[in-house]
Structure 1
Amino acid sequence: MTVGNADLDRVIASLLTDMRTAPAERATELARRLADLLDRREAAAEQRIAEIDNLASHIDRAVHALDDAASTAELMRRACEQVAELCRARTVLISRLDEKRIIPMMSFSTDPDASPSLPRECDLLPGSTEARALETNTVSVDDMVPDQMRELLGNNGYCAIPVVVDGHAAALMHVDTTLDGPRRHALSVFAEMLGGCFERIGLETRREHQERLLRDSARRWTSDVDIDALPSRDAVDSAHMPRGHAEVDERLLDPLTEREADVVRLILTGASNAAIATELVITVDTVKSHVKRILRKLGVSNRAELIAKYQSLLG
């Protein structure tokens, strides 16, 4: 008699009920069956514990592999490699989200002979596996692979995993296999860690960008500052900046959150929404939301008025 793990408890309970009213000979047979099922249940539990321990070790190794990634591209490559190992998958695809578009960025295959091109970008369709993943912020599974991804993922089912950066889904990962519950959970944990790594790289990128802005601002607004003598970003505070420029920054950005201030600094360089999204590792929709709040808080109608206000404050 073959019994699946999910049915063991029910069968065991049924045997115990039968044993209460069974004659002695029948009860002995039922007892032998009960002992066998109890052994199988214990073995299954031990196997599940071993699988969970193994997954925990995989997650730990995977997260450590992301720690020192120095760029978004390197982080995506390492993430694809680690997800393939974690899921025992052949192919992993990572895409960025741009409003309602899925734009494939990088793929990884464990097959050295596989070199299919990236799928074409596509719309994020309501009710799709990807849309469900984003709505629930969980791993979603489907047996039917979208047409544009079949060359890369095959046609035996797949998973879609959202990657949340700064509170918003900024990327999607696709894996060419369906997964059981424990591996789905492990993949969700890894995706959460990956989002944190994207945020870290974004912070480092913004820090470097702010140092460049400081030096560029000094060049634009002063003519008597020794640029080469300016200290590094770690040593800079408002006392090192030209007094008028520092005061204007403080007056203009005071009503804003730290993230909104980052967006303003990029706007002042002439960056587009797409460029700001790339720089801050967030979606274009998130940038647009930030810009709307910034304009409202600063009492201006558009970017041109914002830049004009900044220049007028500089006097």
Structure 2
Amino acid sequence: MDLRERWLDLVAAVRSVAAQAPAPSGDGVLEQPELALRDTNPWSSLAELADFSRAFRERTIDRPFETRRRINQALSRLRELDTFAAVMAAAPAALAHACEVGRVMISRISGSTWLPGNLYVATGEDDPVNRSLREYIHELRIQLTNGMLEAEVVRRRAPALVTDAAAEPRTFEPLVRIARSRAYVVAPVVAGGSVAALLHADNYPSARLLTPLDRDNLHAFAEGLAVIFERAVTLERMALQRERVRQFFADAEETVGALYAAPVRLTRSQPPTAAPASAAAPERRSELDLLTPREREVAALLSSGARNADIAARLTVSETTVKSHVKNILRKLQVSNRSEVISRYLRLAHDGEQRS
């Protein structure tokens, strides 16, 4: 086989691979240089073929790897955020820059309800279409029904590519119409065993078509985002538990302080014929009698170290009602805080037991 025949075989092979490869993201369809024999010199034609091969490699191999690198960098930055809300707010912009798409919307999924949320627009924030879209999705609630594309994405937990949104009957038509999306990709964010969110992306107003590679990139970002969601929720729960433990020990310290301040009296038991109790006891007992039966119950529970929430659960009332009782107790016993209530109640209760 001479050099010319070998070159023709190489051209045919490269063209065949190019025809079968998925269209890359970025600049759209690869523009193949004209490879028809314009020069009888095979060395010149092989140089042209080498240029084509380099361009082909850049578009179909190097750029997809570059996109995945940007996705990893974006996820790394999102991982530094500590709250679920912060991640939800930052994710659309991170995805748009990493995957080079024009618009990104992140939505929450609550049961069978789709709740469109944060929208990021790469260019054209003041575009009337984008303004209308932002106004439309504000507080929008969409019921996921059988036959809807997003319902299928949630059920199968798999991404989807819509190449012709206007002709696709399973889309949510009002949203597609207002957004003027010609094509879009959607991927679920599966966290904690269920779909927590949906990611939508399109290229409005760019004419670049979305491809299966865009769908795969969005899916890769969604999988990484799911891990970040779970981490953020765990951190928030740990912070809440830490605050509850701190409050518990603060209440315990207050109760112990009140008990420590209360007087301790050691008395001998008196026979039935013992002398009557001092005149001060009836007076202190009369202070306790100023409280209603419910207020005495609240005072007794306070003295046991119970918090408002515990008292409310014990007495089957609201915390607001408990606070009202505590306020009345403070006023009637003429004290200014819970510690003084505990100290006064324990003293009055002790004197009452001695009198009886």
Distance in 2 separating the partners of 1:112 and 1:180: 25
Aligned residue for 1:172, secondary structure, equals: strand
* Unmatched runs of 5 consecutive residues or more in structure 2: 1-10, 21-39, 166-170, 204-208, 258-305, 307-317, 319-356
SS at match of 2:187: strand
Please give the TM-score of this superposition, normalised by the length of structure 2: 0.50
Unaligned runs of 5+ in 1: 13-28, 227-244, 246-269, 271-315
- Whether the aligned pair in 2 keeps the contact of 1:117 and 1:152 (CA below 8 Å) is no
What is the 5 A alignment of 1:32-47? Answer: 40=52, 43-47=55-59
What residue in structure 2 maps to residue 180 of structure 1? 211
1:8 and 2:16 matched: yes
In the alignment, the residues of structure 1 paired with residue 18 and residue 67 of structure 2 have an alpha-carbon distance, to the nearest angstrom, of 28
Q: C-alpha distance in 2, partners of 1:209/1:100?
A: 28
Which structure would you say has the larger Rg? 2
Any residues of structure 2 matched to 1:127-142 within 5 Å, and which? 127-142=147-162
Deviation readout 1:158-196 (Å, 9 max, x if unpaired) = 111101111211111111246323332222111111111
Given the alignment of the two structures, is residue 76 of structure 1 paired with residue 85 of structure 2, yes or no? no
Maintained 8 Å contact 1:129/1:141: no
In structure 2, the partner of 1:112 is 125
Match of residue 192 from structure 2: 166
Q: Deviations over 1:193-223 (max 9, x none)?
A: 1111111110111001112332455577896
How big is each residue's C-alpha offset from its partner over 1:236-277, in whole Å with a ceiling of 9 and x where there is no partner? xxxxxxxxx9xxxxxxxxxxxxxxxxxxxxxxxx9xxxxxxx
Give the C-alpha shift of residue 9 in structure 1. Answer: 4.1
What is aligned with 2:242? 211
Change (3 A) 1:5 1:84: farther
2:111 maps to a residue whose letter is E
In 2, Cα distance between the equivalents of 1:102 and 1:5? 47
Does the 8 Å CA contact 1:163/1:195 hold for their aligned counterparts? yes
Contact 1:90 1:176 in 2 (8 A): yes
C-alpha separation in 1, matches of 2:184 and 2:157: 16
List aligned pairs for 1:82-161, cutoff 5 A: 82-110=94-122, 111-113=124-126, 114-115=130-131, 116-119=134-137, 120-142=140-162, 143-144=164-165, 145-150=171-176, 153-161=179-187
Aligned 8 A contact 2:71 2:98 in 1: yes
TM-score by length of 1: 0.56
Whole-angstrom distance in 1 between the partners of 2:58 and 2:159: 26
Give the counterpart of 2:66 among 54, 58, 63: 54
The structure whose residues are more often helix, as a share, is: 1
Identify if the C-alpha distance between structure 1 residues 5 and 149 changes in structure 2 by more than 3 Å, giving closer, same or farther.
farther
CA distance change for structure 1 residues 11 and 205 in 2, over 3 Å: closer, same or farther? closer
| Shift of residue 75, structure 1, vs aligned partner | 1.0
Is contact 2:144-2:150 (8 Å) kept?
yes
CA deviation vs aligned residue, 1:79-107 (integer Å, no higher than 9, x gap): 10012223332221111111111012211
Identity %: 24
Say whether residues 1:192 and 2:223 are aligned partners: yes
After TM superposition, give the deviation of residue 37 of structure 1 in Å.
6.9
Task: Report what 2:324 is aligned to.
Answer: none
CA distance in 2, matches of 1:98, 1:4: 53
Secondary structure of the corresponding residue to residue 209 of structure 1: helix
What is the count of residue pairs matched by the alignment? 210
